[in-house]
Amino acid sequence: FPEMLSNPRLIPVHGTLNVVMNQNVTLSCRSDSGSPPVRYTLFKCNQTVSTLNRPDLTPGLFNLTISSASDISEYKCKAENNISGGGKYSNSLNFTLLEPISKPVLSSPTSQAKKGQNVTLSCLSENGSLPITYVFFKGRRSISQPVKMHKSEAAVIFLFINSSSDFGTYKCRAENSFCNTTKYSNSFNFTLAEERSHSQPLIISLGLILLLFVIGFALAIPLFIIPLYKASE
């Protein structure tokens, strides 16, 4: 007797929904039970993409090319036979577009520091599929645990400048799931801030007093000394 179709299953043939731009992918739509022949229709955002006819219960294979952001939209398929009524619909699928990360930028609010000061370093790749994992280095030695960011925000670490060696060269590394891509940042160095001597304000004050004395003496010459000189003639 003719049998109604079961709800079809829509799956990626290669087992992953992670794709890159211009990648070719294949989706399989199949009803496990029901009377053939079967007609499979693939939809993208409720718009028909393609239709395939099968004389038996072998899956309908739909070949796609991910060529734009709209191609990662929601997909469904429908299976129909002679007694299926309105047909049976599958689960929905959405692709995830993978994007390589850009070179991260390592920066700090200050480029100068002195011993005993707390400073921060931030590392950010502006482009790339999330999550992005960051690691900070001083020289070739890592100075942080991997920091996984699920938002397009910089990873930040806090440092304490304790000795001259802390003024070394810093870098950070960024990576995501795009083909195991790893990229390193620019180099960053803190410079030692010049500490003002405690005697410097005193020297400046004495200099100002001396300057005022010289100016006062110069103003006193025409007021007092010249009249006295004329009176003595």
pLDDT reading at 79 higher than 80: yes
CA-to-CA dists, residue 16 to 9, 19, 49, 133, 137, angstroms:
15, 8, 20, 21, 33
**Residue 225, phi then psi, degrees to nearest 5:** -70, -45
- Mean of the pLDDT values across residues 30-54? 95
User: How many percent of the chain have pLDDT more than 70?
Assistant: 85
CA-to-CA dists, residue 65 to 22, 72, 97, angstroms:
6, 10, 12
Question: 85: pLDDT confidence band, cut at 50, 70 and 90?
Answer: confident
Fold agreement (8-97, 105-192): yes
Q: Which amino acid is at 95?
A: F
pLDDT confidence of residue 227? 59
pLDDT in tens, 97-139: 888 999 999 999 998 988 889 999 999 999 998 899 999 999 9
pLDDT in tens, 170-179: 999 999 988 7
CATH number (3.40.630.40, 2.40.10.10, 2.60.40.10, 2.60.40.1180) of 105-192 reads: 2.60.40.10
User: How many percent of the chain have pLDDT more than 90?
Assistant: 60
Overall fold of domain 8-97: Immunoglobulin-like (2.60.40)
pLDDT in tens, 194-219: 755 444 555 666 767 777 766 766 66
- Mean of the pLDDT values across residues 59-78? 93
Cα–Cα distance measured from residue 190 to residue 194, given in angstroms and rounded to the nearest whole number: 12
Cα–Cα distance measured from residue 93 to residue 19, given in angstroms and rounded to the nearest whole number: 13
List the domain boundaries for the chain: 8-97, 105-192
pLDDT confidence of residue 50? 96
Q: Cβ–Cβ contacts within 10 Å for residue 155, how many? A: 22
pLDDT confidence of residue 2? 79
pLDDT in tens, 152-170: 999 999 999 988 888 889 9
Cα–Cα distance measured from residue 144 to residue 157, given in angstroms and rounded to the nearest whole number: 8
pLDDT reading at 224 higher than 90: no
Question: What's the mean per-residue pLDDT of the chain?
Answer: 87
pLDDT reading at 190 higher than 70: yes
Written as one string, the DSSP assignment of the chain is ---PPPPPEEEETTS--EE-TTEEEEEEEE-SSSPSPEEEEEEETTEEEEEEEESSSPPEEEEEEE-SGGGGSEEEEEEE-TT-TT-EE---EE-EE--PPPPPEEE-S-SEE-TTEEEEEEEE-SSSPSPEEEEEEETTEE-S--EEESSS--EEEEEEE-SGGGGSEEEEEEE-SSTT-EEE---EE-EEPPPPPTTHHHHHHHHHHHHHHHHHHHHHIIIIIHHHHHHT-
pLDDT confidence of residue 168? 87
10 or 181: whose pLDDT is higher? 10
- Mean of the pLDDT values across residues 85-89? 86
